[in-house]
Amino acid sequence: MLHPFRIFSAILIIAHPLLLKMSLQTICRLQVTREDADTLGHRVCDPDADSLATSGQNFLKQLNQCKPFTPDQLKVIQDLLSSGNTPFGPPSTWSSSTLDKLSGLLPMLPQNILQNIPEVRLKKKNQIRRGKRQVSKSVRKLRYCPPDKAVTEEVLQDKLMPIYYTPEELGACLKGQFLLDHLPLVTSHAYTDRQMFELKLNLDREFPDGYPEWVLYDLGVLLEIMSEEEIKKWNITSPETLRYLLDSQPTDDLASSIIQRYVDHGNPLNATALDAIGPRYICLLNVDQLRRINEQAIKMAKPLQVSKCSQTTVNTLYPKAKRAFSDRHNEFPAYYDLIKPYLSKHPTLVGKKEQSAVGFYITFWGERC
């Protein structure tokens, strides 16, 4: 049976106009199975409000990872969650493990839902007891952190912490050296986009010329709001940093910028780098980058799975792969398995006889005999 997640994705491809704009490359990716489940996950983030209302409750857990939402999507999500008509039940029954599961959505929930969650009510009460809550009268820019909002280590340990702070308060209270010292913890929470933006501003103030490499390892959720301009300031000096950044599954645009920064710094696209780029991003490499890949790298890297990439990519890498594995030319069927990921799935490429497995075998045996 098809996983409901995949059916949903399939419906979205047909139904959502936004997806029509998707490149062929992305659509091709959607046709593959398990290996690209992560990519499929991202498609769940694109639903329109109607599809969400009919199928949304099955996907709330996955939606957790998605942002930003349109106001329509947000409204549907909020209505669904407060209706209690989800696997999580009504908010008044949510335990702390439910909150864990929903953590990415919590900062987006309105007060009337939050008020119903027992754990949140408890925390709020304690907070009010600690200091009289100052009602921020639409204060646009807070120059000082209100005393009862000071962010301490203890506050940071609370996974619900983002929901106690307006974006302005967060900007005023979580900054400077304290922010730098606690960056990994800070960026492990889920924030609204505006909150993340405030945190980014504070980081930018610390590093006006761009973030040093160690900060890149601690960006966590903030990576998703980084602009290409920002990434152009970074020095990515090792395949480890490249891997680390790509492992957090940035969008294709950000991933392209990250890969370019790695190459700009004079780093090789060797096997370590290719493994970091992996099947998810390999199709993003441009002609100049592809030229930098040599046979040795192809030989040592995990199979690159470029069949679904553009013709240019296949045309550039296939001959290299052939040379890379030429010493195993007589091993059958091992050679075919090695070369298969570099064969195009599109007709008219690489010569017809090599398109299909059957064709390939014929060629292979033809050459051999």
Binding site for ligand NAG (CB under 6 A): 209-210, 212, 233, 235, 238-239, 267-268, 270-272, 300
Minimum distance from residue 210 beta carbon to ligand NAG (Å): 3
Helix, coil or strand: residue 121? helix
Nearer to ligand NAG (CB atom), residue 9 or residue 267: 267
Nearer to ligand NAG (CB atom), residue 272 or residue 307: 272
Minimum distance from residue 320 beta carbon to ligand NAG (Å): 16
Minimum distance from residue 275 beta carbon to ligand NAG (Å): 9
Output Rg (C-alpha) for the chain, integer angstroms. Answer: 25
Q: How far is CA 255 from CA 252, 284, 331, 352, in A?
A: 5, 8, 37, 33
Nearest C-alpha neighbor of 6 from the set 53, 29, 80, 88? 29
Instruction: Name the closest residue to ligand NAG (Cβ).
Output: 210
What is d(CA 251, CA 241) in angstroms, rounded to the nearest whole number?
17
Contact by Cβ (8 Å): 25, 283: yes
Minimum distance from residue 179 beta carbon to ligand NAG (Å): 17
Say what angle helices 271-281 and 239-247 make with each other, to 10 degrees.
20
Nearer to ligand NAG (CB atom), residue 146 or residue 268: 268
Eight-class DSSP state of 237: -
**Position 83: which residue type?**
S
DSSP readout, 6-52?
HHHHHHHHHH-HHHHTS-HHHHHHHHS-GGGHHHHHHHTTS--HHHH
% helix / strand / coil in the chain, to the nearest 5?
A: 65, 0, 35
Minimum distance from residue 266 beta carbon to ligand NAG (Å): 9
Nearer to ligand NAG (CB atom), residue 72 or residue 213: 213
Minimum distance from residue 277 beta carbon to ligand NAG (Å): 12
Minimum distance from residue 293 beta carbon to ligand NAG (Å): 12
The residue length of the chain stands at 369
What is d(CA 25, CA 284) in angstroms, rounded to the nearest whole number?
10
Minimum distance from residue 247 beta carbon to ligand NAG (Å): 17
Nearer to ligand NAG (CB atom), residue 68 or residue 210: 210
What is d(CA 175, CA 189) in angstroms, rounded to the nearest whole number?
16
Nearer to ligand NAG (CB atom), residue 220 or residue 268: 268
Nearer to ligand NAG (CB atom), residue 130 or residue 302: 302
Phi-psi region of 330 (alpha: psi -120 to 50; beta: other; left: phi over 0): alpha
Nearer to ligand NAG (CB atom), residue 238 or residue 355: 238
